[in-house]
């Protein structure tokens, strides 16, 4: 296990696979094009949709891979300054929260695509878990900015929050701006996982 944690190639590959499974919604362009082009991505896993088992399973696998990644990153010792040290500790914790809420949101899948009925316990659980997942990822991205204060991470964070605004607006007001914001949001999460993992490992080698 120790050899794996200190193997940069293995860790970056793990982050890449986590991001790849998280973006399995791209399969929707072939498996369920109507829904992927008109509704939020969680609708692909709604229980009334074809191939929903695939999208539920890929979200769960992605969450499990992120859990492993967060644990490995958290176990890495650090001798940095107080702020950086605690940011390195809390970033994996935020990722653990993101992973767990992503897994649970997939398990408590929407009963029907495109319908929001918060009086339904399953729908309520799914929506709340999805919001919590977004919150955990926002915290992780902000902690990443504390660790890597450069233009590229600022750009990633800015694009993430812009895409989050559009996807949130579509969630509140369906069939207005469309799911494009959430497409970019998910792709940015996958990219962020890989780059952040690589940067953390590189920073550890230089410390």
What are 33-77's pLDDT values in tens digits? 999 998 989 999 999 999 999 999 999 999 999 999 998 887 665
Please choose, from the candidates 2, 12, 9, 4, the residue with its C-alpha nearest in 3D space to the C-alpha of residue 194: 12
Could you tell me the pTM of the whole model?
0.91
Q: Which tokens is 118 given?
A: 């918060």
**What pLDDT shows up at residue 14?**
96
- Vertex 183: Cα angle to 122 and 61 (nearest 5): 55
- In the chain, the percentage of residues whose pLDDT exceeds 70 is 90
Average pLDDT value for residue range 119-142: 91
d(CA 7, CA 26): 30
Tell whether the model's pLDDT for residue 207 goes beyond 60: no
Tell whether the model's pLDDT for residue 95 goes beyond 90: yes
Crossing angle of helices 180-206 and 52-75, in 10° steps, is 20
Token pair 């990219």 is found at 191
Domain boundaries of the chain, sorted by first residue: 2-206
Question: Three-state SS string across 16-30, please?
Answer: HHHHHHHCHHHHHHH
Please choose, from the candidates 66, 93, 77, the residue with its C-alpha nearest in 3D space to the C-alpha of residue 203: 77
The mean pLDDT of the chain is 87
Q: How confident is the model at residue 3 (pLDDT cuts 50, 70, 90)?
A: low
d(CA 5, CA 197): 11
Tell whether the model's pLDDT for residue 200 goes beyond 90: no
Average pLDDT value for residue range 143-152: 85
């Amino acid at each position: 296990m120790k050899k794996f944690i200190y193997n940069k190639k293995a860790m970056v590959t793990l982050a890449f696979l986590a991001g790849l499974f998280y973006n399995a919604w791209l399969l929707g362009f072939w498996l369920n094009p109507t829904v992927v082009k008109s509704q939020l991505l969680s609708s692909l896993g709604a229980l009334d949709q074809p191939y929903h088992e695939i999208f539920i399973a890929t979200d769960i696998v992605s969450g499990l891979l992120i859990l492993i990644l967060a644990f490995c990153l958290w176990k890495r010792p650090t001798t940095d300054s107080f702020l950086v040290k605690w940011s390195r500790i809390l970033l994996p914790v935020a990722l653990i929260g993101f992973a767990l809420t992503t897994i649970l949101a997939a398990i408590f899948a929407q009963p029907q695509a495109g319908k929001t009925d918060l009086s339904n316990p399953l729908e309520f659980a799914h929506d709340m878990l999805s919001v919590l997942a977004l919150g955990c990822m926002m915290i992780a991205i902000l902690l990443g900015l504390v660790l890597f204060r450069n233009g590229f991470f600022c750009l990633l964070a800015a694009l993430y929050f812009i895409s989050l605004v559009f996807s949130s607006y579509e969630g509140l007001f369906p069939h207005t701006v469309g799911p494009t914001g959430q497409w970019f949001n998910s792709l940015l999460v996958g990219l962020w996982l890989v780059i952040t993992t690589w940067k953390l490992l590189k920073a550890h080698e230089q410390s």
